[in-house]
A and B are shown apart, each in its own frame.
Chain A
Amino acid sequence: MSSVIIVDYGMGNIKSVLRGIEQVGAKATLSADPDVIYRADHLILPGVGAFDDGMVGLERYGLVEPILRFSKSGKPLMGICLGMQMLLDKSEEHGEHQGLGLIPGVVEEIPRVSNGVVRKIPHIGWSALKQVDGGCDWKDGYLSHTKIGDFVYFVHSYMAVPIHKLHLLSQCEYQGLSINAAIKRDNITGFQFHPEKSGEVGLKILKEFINS
C-alpha cells in the first residue's frame, strides 16, 4: 500500500485530504517532521488561507528545505489550493512574498473586473476542467482518467500564473476569465481546486496520485 505524507503546518482543513487519500486506498499520515517529510513516498502540501501565513507556517516548522529536497527526489509532490500557489516564485497577496520557487511564476489576485465583466470574488463553486493548447498532456499526469468537462470544486481569491505555458495542465473558465486549475512540472503537480472535495471526479485524481 502506498503511504502518503500530508504536510501539517497549521493551515486549514487537512482532515479532508487525509480522508480522501484513505478513501482511495492509501495510508495517509499528517506530519510536520522534516525527516518524515523528506523521506515520504508521496507528499501532499495542502492549505487554505493567506499566502504569507502559509510560508511563515512552513518556515516556523523548518519545512521549506525538506520540501525542496523532496521535490528533487523525483517522487510525487502534490500541492492543493494554497499548497499549489506556494509552489510558485512569489505572491502579491497582502504585499509581495516569496514562495517555494518550484514552478516559475507568480500568484495574482483574480481581477474583479476584466473585459467588461464584473465578477464575484472569491471564486466559489464547481467549474469544468479544460485542456490547454501548448500545455501538459493529461496522459502524463493525474488527470489521465479525468474527462474534459469534468467538474471540480474551487474556492479561492488568488490564482497561480506560471510563466511557461508548458507547465499548464488544465484551466477552467470563470465569468469570462481563464483560471489555471492545474499546473505541472516533472514530478510536481499543483491543483487550484480541491480534489478531496470534488466528489468522485476528485477521488479519481487522488487515486492516480497514490498509484504514481
Chain B
Amino acid sequence: MRNVRLIARLDVKAPNLVKGIQLEGLRKMGNPNEFALRYYEQGVDEIFYADIVASLYERNSLLDIIERTTSDVFVPITVGGGIRSVEDVGAALRAGADKVSINTAAIKNPGIISDVARRFGSQCMVLSIQAKHHGNHWEAFYDNGREHSGLDAIEWAKRGEDLGAGEIILTSVDREGTAKGFDINLINSVTDRVSIPVIASGGMGKLEDINLVINEAHADAVAMAHVLHYNHLTIGDVRNHCKNAKIPVRQYSKEEDVA
C-alpha cells in the first residue's frame, strides 16, 4: 500500500502567508506559523512553504519562519523559493527544513539537482515544476509562473528524475487558486513518465477533486492551499473523505500532548 500524503502549501511573502490566483493578485492571510500549527493540529502529513518573493532579505525571514515552525510542528517541512545553491540548501536544512524544492535555479542550471541529491540525498531534492498549458503541451515556467523556460514540462520532469530529484511538486499555473480541480491530464502525463513520487498542486476546490487526481492521475500526494486557508475544509475533512472513498491515507487521531 502507498498512503497518499495530504500536504498544506503555504505561500509566504515574509512575514505573511499570502494567497493569490494563478500565482498573482496576492492577498495577505496572516501569520504563517499560526496556519502551520493549525494544520499540524488537524493532522496534516507535511507542510510545504514556498517563498514567492525570494530576495535574499526575505529568504532569511523565511528561515526564521521555518525555525519557529519546528518548535511546535513535528511533521516534515519542505521549503522552496529562492534556493540557488548547495549552500542555500544547507542553510534551509539547518533552519529545520527536511527537504527543499527548486524551480528557477534548476531550469537555469540543471546540475544543481545532481549536486543537491549527491550532497543531501535525493529524498531532500524536490523538483518544483510550474506548468502552463500551451497549445497541445505544457510548458515549464519559472519566477512564479511569469517566465517561459521553453521546456516541455513532461520531459523536464523526466530529466529531473534522471538528474537525481527524489520527488516532484507539480503545480498547474492555470488551475492554481481557482478551486476548479486539479489538471488531471497534466498530472497523469507526469506520473506516467516518471517513477518518483509526484505531488499534485493547484486547483483543489472540493473533496471530490481528490478522487480523480489519485485514482486517474495517480498522484502520490496532494498539496492544498486555498481550501485550507479559507477554512472551506480541514485536513480532517479531507482525511475522512479519503477513507470513505477508499483512498489509502495515514490514520490519524488526536492524542493527548505527550510533553
Q: Hey, which bits of chain A sit against chain B, CB under 8 A?
A: 12-13, 15-16, 19-20, 23-25, 48-50, 53, 82, 112, 118-122, 124-128, 149, 151, 153, 155-157, 173-175, 194, 196-204, 207
Give bound CA distance, A207 to B71, whole Å: 16
Give bound CA distance, A175 to B197, whole Å: 13
Q: Are B94 and A15 in contact (CB under 8 A)?
A: yes
- Size range of the interface on B? 35 or more
Q: Are A120 and B195 in contact (CB under 8 A)?
A: yes
Binary contact track B118-158/A, C-beta < 8 Å → 1, others 0 = 11111110000000000000000000000000000000000
Residues of B within 8 A of A149 (CB): 251
Chain A binding site: helix, strand, loop or mixed by DSSP?
A: mixed
User: Is B220 engaged at the interface, CB distance under 8 Å to the other chain?
Assistant: yes
User: Is B85 engaged at the interface, CB distance under 8 Å to the other chain?
Assistant: no
Residues of A within 8 A of B75 (CB): 153, 197-199
Q: Are A25 and B5 in contact (CB under 8 A)?
A: no
Q: Are A124 and B167 in contact (CB under 8 A)?
A: yes
Chain B binding site: helix, strand, loop or mixed by DSSP?
A: loop
Closest-by-CB residue of A relative to B166 is: A122
Q: Are A12 and B5 in contact (CB under 8 A)?
A: no
CB distance from A53 to the nearest CB of B (A): 8
Q: Are A48 and B5 in contact (CB under 8 A)?
A: no
Q: Are B121 and A49 in contact (CB under 8 A)?
A: yes
CB distance from A116 to the nearest CB of B (A): 15
Q: Are B167 and A200 in contact (CB under 8 A)?
A: no
Q: Are B121 and A126 in contact (CB under 8 A)?
A: no
CB distance from B90 to the nearest CB of A (A): 9
Q: Are B255 and A197 in contact (CB under 8 A)?
A: no
Knowing A48-B120, A121-B196, A151-B251, say if A203 contacts B220 (CB, 8 Å). no
Binary contact track B1-35/A, C-beta < 8 Å → 1, others 0 = 11101000000000000000000000000000000
The residue that A173 contacts in the complex, of B1, B98, B197, with Cβ under 8 A, is B1
Closest-by-CB residue of A relative to B199 is: A124
User: Is B56 engaged at the interface, CB distance under 8 Å to the other chain?
Assistant: no
Q: Are A122 and B258 in contact (CB under 8 A)?
A: no
A-B interface, 3 closest residue pairs, ranked by CB to CB distance from nearest: A126-B250, A49-B121, A151-B250
The residue that B121 contacts in the complex, of A25, A48, A196, with Cβ under 8 A, is A48
Residues of B within 8 A of A173 (CB): 1
The residue that A125 contacts in the complex, of B5, B67, B94, with Cβ under 8 A, is B5
Closest-by-CB residue of A relative to B90 is: A10
Q: Are A125 and B3 in contact (CB under 8 A)?
A: yes
CB distance from A161 to the nearest CB of B (A): 19
Give bound CA distance, A64 to B177, whole Å: 51
The residue that A16 contacts in the complex, of B3, B98, B121, with Cβ under 8 A, is B98
17 A-B pairs with CB atoms under 8 Å apart are A15-B94, A15-B96, A16-B98, A25-B259, A48-B98, A48-B121, A49-B120, A50-B118, A124-B5, A124-B197, A127-B3, A151-B250, A175-B2, A194-B76, A197-B74, A200-B258, A203-B74
